[in-house]
Amino acid sequence: MPDKDIFGPIEPPSFISKDPSGLITIFNNALRLLVVVGGIYALLNFILAGYAFMSAVGDPKKIEFAWAKIWQSMVGLMIIAASFVLAALIGKLLFGNTKALFEINIYGPGGSTPVPK
């Protein structure tokens, strides 16, 4: 009969949280995914705009399109960065902690005792 413990204990990866606040974890991971996707999309737009700029061959409309795409990508990245700055500023003003909106505590039925992370 084969040994059931052939591989040893199986632990989840370190980036997976074991806390019971699953909704917050899902929201946090979704937000991180959106930021990464936004950054990758901006990078692809920069590459495509650079290619369009190089292949414009002096055509003013193509050059204008490439510059517009570059500026739109830069504005998008600034909006992503500004959202984090704004969240930190609101956290500092309302809660006295810049990470208050990034580290949310869920309080259990006891009232003042936060659910452990």
8-67 pLDDT, tens digit per residue, is 776 766 666 555 566 777 777 888 888 889 999 999 999 999 999 899 888 999 999 999
pLDDT at 101: 79
The three-state secondary structure class of 39 is helix
Q: Torsions phi, psi of 107, nearest 5?
A: -95, 135
CA dihedral 105, 111, 116, 117 (to 10 degrees): -20
- Give domain limits for the chain: 22-95
pTM > 0.85: no
